[in-house]
Amino acid sequence: MGNFGKKINIFLESFIEHGAYNKVLEGLSNTILIAVMGHIIGIVIGTLIATVRVIPKYKLLPRVLNGFCSFYVGFFRGTPIVVQLLLFYYVLFPLLGVRITAVAVSILVFGLNSGAYISEVMRGGILSVDSGQMEGGRAMGLSFSTTMLKIVIPQAIKNILPTMGNEFIALIKETSIVSFVGATDLYVAFNYIGSNNYEFMVPYLAMAVIYIVLVLVISLLIKIMERSLRKGDKSI
Amino acid sequence: MIKVSNLCKSFGELEVLKNVDIHITRGEKVVIIGPSGSGKSTLLRCLNCMEDPTSGSVVFNGVDIADPKVDINIHRQRMGMVFQHFNLFNNKTVIQNIMLAPVYVEKKRMRKLRRKNPNNEKIKSTAEIKAEEKEKAINLLRRIGLEDKADEYPSRLSGGQKQRVAIVRALAMNPEVMLFDEPTSALDPEMVGEVLEVMKSLAKEGMTMVVVTHEMGFAKEVADRVVFMADGVIAEEGTPADIFENPKNPRTQQFLQCVL
Ligand SMILES: Nc1ncnc2c1ncn2[C@@H]1O[C@H](COP(=O)(O)OP(=O)(O)OP(=O)(O)O)[C@@H](O)[C@H]1O
Ligand SMILES: [Mg+2]
């Protein structure tokens, strides 16, 4: 045990006195930034794709869009996200001649990737809304997209909120791969502390604790959000 | 006002409407009756193109709205529709249900006016539109005695209350015609009366109405014309007296024997 106490001291010294906490804060904020921005982009893309998938397919345009969406979802669900990250960072953007930071690429890739997953969840959510809601809107002379946006999607989102929460938590955990393209996240920060004095036990333990706390806090926020959304309707 | 000619509608192989012709004139109250599966709902839903006709025309105020090139939304705004299952927006309060479409349409109209002439004095701000529509909505709720429910969600209303709200929601668009598809069929018996009362008062005001219903009492009292449908065709039509007291077609006679 004395040994462990020494390790903690080494960690604390590095963490506080040598200013490594700055690195950890940077890592933490990048992890959260990538997860939150990625999830928001994912919701927007996922909603668009899900909408395309439920449009009646009599006309050419919806069919073409639907084909594109199938390809998109197939690609992002069919390849590991590490591969997508590496492809975007080392292949796509260099080919386009665009210089872009590792964090920005990570946000983009996580957004595109979770868009593919969320589209499936959202489609289920949209289909779970009674078709009478769409009928009610269309019969009033509202367009398909207006009815979708104001009536159907808000109800769909409410139905899938628990699943969305899980998606977000999964996303947070997955962000630990962004070090593959050199972005500083929690893993990189604690790895840095550990490699300063070849003492990894405490840093990695601390990293695990931060991830757990993060997930617990998010779960709590989701619960609160659900409760406030459920107020009002469906309370009979 | 609505002239339907040679209307056919199939779902896949199933021919639901076969060459239906019907002409609804302004102010007329038409009640459609007939056995289950005869195509009553489908005919009603073709009147505002909620179902796209397979062939034939539906001319509303001189425009064939069955033509896919027509902007159907503009025409639907002139036709109210009331469903068996109410179809109130579950994520909106009662008053939001009523205001949503009129506010949206007014806003859109203002945007158009502004694009033509930004200084047009008739342009209203969003706040003005909302205030106006809110007042209108409250008046409509007062008319059905539900102004105290304005801020409730639909899930907290009884069936009869929901259907009355659905009716005034349609009225908020100032429609020229109201289409009803079995508006009382999903209601508990004690709530049927309150909904029929609202419909009767509408009829008295001279609203053009097309009503699919099994309420024969309502048909006798309110209808100018009763249309009997069977197997996708109009088998017989006439005044309530013609149809109920003196039906010519054996199918009509048989149907009436079952329901009366
Ligand atoms: N969307 C649809 N797809 C396939 N078949 C349909 C569809 N809508 C209606 N039908 C069929 O068309 C026929 C006529 O239906 P419709 O709803 O018009 O009858 P109805 O006279 O209103 O009957 P009810 O009194 O039961 O409401 C039925 O056989 C029905 O199964
Ligand atoms: Mg029907």
Contact across the interface for B76 and A234, Cβ inside 8 Å: no
Q: Mean pLDDT, chain A, as a whole number? A: 90
Express as a percent the part of chain B with pLDDT over 70. Answer: 100
SS3 at position B113: helix
pLDDT value at residue A236: 39
Q: State the ipTM, two decimals.
A: 0.93
Q: Which residues of B touch A233 (CB under 8 A)?
A: 90-91, 153-156
Query: 87-106 in B: which are within 8 Å (CB) of A?
Result: 87-92, 100-101, 104-105
pLDDT value at residue A91: 95
Establish whether residue B56 lines the binding site of ligand 1, counting it when its CB lies within 6 angstroms of any ligand atom: no
Which secondary-structure segment (H or E) carries B208? strand B208-212
User: CA separation (Å) from B59 to B1, B72, B103, B130?
Assistant: 8, 12, 27, 33
Which of A105-114, A162-171, B45-54, B89-98 is the least confident region? A162-171
Express as a percent the part of chain A with pLDDT over 70. Answer: 97
Q: If you measure CA to CA, which chain A residue comes closest to B105?
A: A142
User: How many whole angstroms from B123 Cα to the centroid of ligand 1?
Assistant: 45
pLDDT band for A39, please (50, 70, 90 cuts).
Answer: very high
Establish whether residue B211 lines the binding site of ligand 1, counting it when its CB lies within 6 angstroms of any ligand atom: no
What does the alpha-carbon distance between residue A207 and residue A195 come to, in Å, rounded to a whole number?
14
Which of A133, A143, A232 is facing B73, going by the closest CB pair? Answer: A143
Q: If you measure CA to CA, which chain A residue comes closest to B49?
A: A139
What does the alpha-carbon distance between residue B220 and residue B243 come to, in Å, rounded to a whole number?
9
* Mean pLDDT calculated for residue range B127-135: 95
* Mean pLDDT calculated for residue range B184-189: 94
Nearest alpha-carbon partner for A113 in A145, A153, A72, A149: A72
Cross-sheet strand order for the sheet of B55-60: B14-24, B2-11, B55-60, B63-64
pLDDT of A207-236, one tens digit each?
A: 999 999 999 999 998 888 888 777 655 543
Q: Does A146 touch chain B (CB under 8 A)?
A: yes
pLDDT band for A46, please (50, 70, 90 cuts).
Answer: very high
pLDDT value at residue A193: 85
* Mean pLDDT calculated for residue range B232-240: 96
* Mean pLDDT calculated for residue range B98-120: 92
Contact across the interface for A139 and B83, Cβ inside 8 Å: yes
* Mean pLDDT calculated for residue range B25-32: 97
pLDDT value at residue A235: 43
pLDDT of B30-68, one tens digit each?
A: 999 999 999 999 999 999 999 999 999 999 999 999 998
User: CA separation (Å) from A23 to A147, A175, A184, B157, B223?
Assistant: 47, 17, 8, 56, 80
DSSP B55-67: EEEEEETTEETTS
Is the pLDDT at B234 greater than 90, yes or no? Answer: yes
What does the alpha-carbon distance between residue B27 and residue B43 come to, in Å, rounded to a whole number?
19
Which of A201-205, B32-36, B243-247 is the least confident region? A201-205
pTM for the full predicted model? 0.86
User: CA separation (Å) from A22 to A193, B178, B208?
Assistant: 11, 67, 73
Nearest alpha-carbon partner for A149 in A139, A161, A157: A157
Q: Which domains does chain A have, with CATH numbers?
A: 20-235 (1.10.3720.10)
pLDDT of A79-102, one tens digit each?
A: 999 999 999 999 999 999 999 999
pLDDT value at residue A2: 67
Of chain B, the end-to-end C-alpha distance in Å amounts to: 32
What does the alpha-carbon distance between residue B203 and residue B222 come to, in Å, rounded to a whole number?
7
What does the alpha-carbon distance between residue B184 and residue B180 come to, in Å, rounded to a whole number?
9
Q: How far is B87 from chain A (nearest CA, A)?
A: 5
* Mean pLDDT calculated for residue range B58-85: 95
Classify residue B33 by burial, with Cβ atoms within 10 Å: 0-12, 13-18, 19+. Answer: buried
Nearest alpha-carbon partner for A186 in A80, A33, A65: A33
Query: How does strand B233-238 pair with strand B225-230?
Result: antiparallel
pLDDT value at residue A231: 64
Q: Which residues of A touch B76 (CB under 8 A)?
A: 138-141
What does the alpha-carbon distance between residue B50 and residue B45 come to, in Å, rounded to a whole number?
5
Higher pLDDT, A59 or B196: B196
